[in-house]
Amino acid sequence: MTRQLGPKAPRPTRPTGPLPLTALLALLAFLSALSALFVLSAPGAWAADGDPAVSLSKKEAGKGGEITVRGSGWRPDALVMLLICGQSTPERGVIGGTNSCANADGRAVTTDKKGAFSKKLPVTEPPKPCPCVVHVATVTGEQALADAVFTVAGHPTADLPRQGGDGKLAVLATTRLEGDSSLLTWFGAPPARRLVLTVGNLGPDPVEDPVFEIGTAHGVYAPQWEERQWRGTVAPGGRARIELPVELSAGAHGDYQVSLRYGDKVLAEQPWGVGRPWGVTLFWVLLCLVVPAAVFRIGMAVVDKVRPRPAGAHRMRRPTATPTATARTKAKTNTNATTAVLPWFTPDSAPSENRPRPTTKGQA
């Protein structure tokens, strides 16, 4: 007996594990790529990662004109300064520091949340000849700057000074602060000193009119840097004695740290202990004593003026006598006194020199 085989029943399919896991990974990769696309396409995304940039509405304008300066890639909510500087290029920067810029006609602007800004800048002639740039730099916080080429029409043009790329300055002696405080400093005037140091040129090229930066720090605060240019030339292998002025704000006191920087290198640091302006304290102490006393005297005078007086008090007052009335009163008093002292004499009985003297017995 033979057994006939019927059609085979289909086998039940079982879900395999790797297929759902692969689909999940593909979905996650798609979402990551989509989010990255949105981030890159968002405005300001490239500016946050790039360097600060500056663009100008005009590349050339004459004195009295106006240009629009636009920036991007700066820190959000940062205060930046816009200046027109001479003797400068974007490659070499502003030669001579801000002394080459028209500082009186600069403008300040605060960047927005995306690190961008737009500000109108009047065109003025800088103190140095062109080539010129529009110099943009941060005022506070981490330093950032950018330059854009600009031509001031009608302004003189001169070649840039020769660049000594191998000049290197180093401090050869201990730095010190010279100078004394005056009497005005005791009353809150700004303390001032001179930072004196000896530098040497270790490079093969001379260093002409170097620009130093002096920073003053108080406590845990970061130093505030100010540019100081020294006029002179340090020959290769030579040395020079440099004196740079240092000045603090009015009323400053406590422990300060004075730093000297040339380029990106800090050459020296010097502590400075500034005494308290006790004259200001004495002034306030005297003010607290004199003002209440004056107010008290004025108040007592007002009270004495407006208080009610008892009846008949005005009769007890004696008017002030003039010198003539006083003399008459004294003469009258003397006459009355004479009359009172000699009451027994009358005009008829008073002795007289013209009356004959009585004769005495025995006299002819």
If DSSP states are collapsed to H, E and C, what string results for 276-294?
A: CCHHHHHHHHHHHHHHHHH
Give the per-residue pLDDT at 136.
Answer: 94
Quote the CA–CA distance of 80 and 142 in Å, as a whole number. 11
Tokens 């005056």 — which residue? Answer: 182
Mean pLDDT, residues 135-151 = 88
Mean pLDDT, residues 138-143 = 80
- Is the CB of residue 119 less than 8 Å from the CB of residue 106? no
CB proximity list for 44: less than 8 A, separation 6 or greater: 72, 114, 115, 116
Give the per-residue pLDDT at 112.
Answer: 93
Greatest pairwise CA separation for the chain in angstroms: 230
Give the per-residue pLDDT at 323.
Answer: 58
Nearest residue to 194 (alpha-carbon basis) of 214, 209, 217: 214
Quote the CA–CA distance of 349 and 343 in Å, as a whole number. 12
Which string of DSSP letters, residue by residue, matches 241-284? EEEEEEE--TT--EEEEEEEEETTEEEEEEEEEEPP-HHHHHHH
- Is the CB of residue 86 less than 8 Å from the CB of residue 100? yes
Mean pLDDT, residues 29-43 = 41
Give the per-residue pLDDT at 6.
Answer: 46
User: Using CA of residue 352, residue 353, residue 355, residue 359, what is the dihedral sign?
Assistant: positive
Mean pLDDT, residues 68-86 = 93
pLDDT at 15 over 70: no
Quote the CA–CA distance of 103 and 112 in Å, as a whole number. 24
Which string of DSSP letters, residue by residue, matches 164-227? -TT--EEE-S--EEE----HHHHTTPPPEEEEEEEEEE-SSS-EES-EEEEEEEETTSPPEEEE
Give the per-residue pLDDT at 210.
Answer: 87
What's the pLDDT tens digit per position in 111-121? Answer: 999 999 999 99
Rg for the chain, CA atoms, rounded: 48
Determine which of 91-95, 158-162, 331-335 has the lowest per-residue pLDDT on average: 331-335
pLDDT at 167 over 80: no
In degrees and rounded to multiples of 5, residue 210 shows phi and psi of -65, 145
Determine which of 151-155, 238-242, 345-349 has the lowest per-residue pLDDT on average: 345-349
Give the per-residue pLDDT at 155.
Answer: 93
pLDDT at 47 over 50: no
Give the per-residue pLDDT at 92.
Answer: 83
Q: How far is CA 91 from the centre of its chain?
A: 32
pLDDT at 19 over 60: no
What's the pLDDT tens digit per position in 291-318? Answer: 888 899 899 999 888 888 776 655 555 5
Quote the CA–CA distance of 94 and 147 in Å, as a whole number. 9
Give the per-residue pLDDT at 350.
Answer: 53
Give the per-residue pLDDT at 361.
Answer: 55
What's the pLDDT tens digit per position in 200-251? Answer: 988 877 888 888 989 998 877 778 888 888 888 888 888 899 999 998 888 8
Give the per-residue pLDDT at 49.
Answer: 45
Give the per-residue pLDDT at 124.
Answer: 93
What's the pLDDT tens digit per position in 251-289? Answer: 888 889 899 988 878 888 889 888 888 888 888 888 888
What is the band of 364 on the pLDDT scale with cuts at 50, 70, 90? very low
| Mean pLDDT over the full length of the chain | 77
% residues pLDDT > 70 (the chain): 70
Q: b vs e for 193-229, b when ≥16 Cβ sit within 10 Å of the residue's Cβ?
A: bebbbebbbebeebbeebbbbbbbbbeeeebeebebe
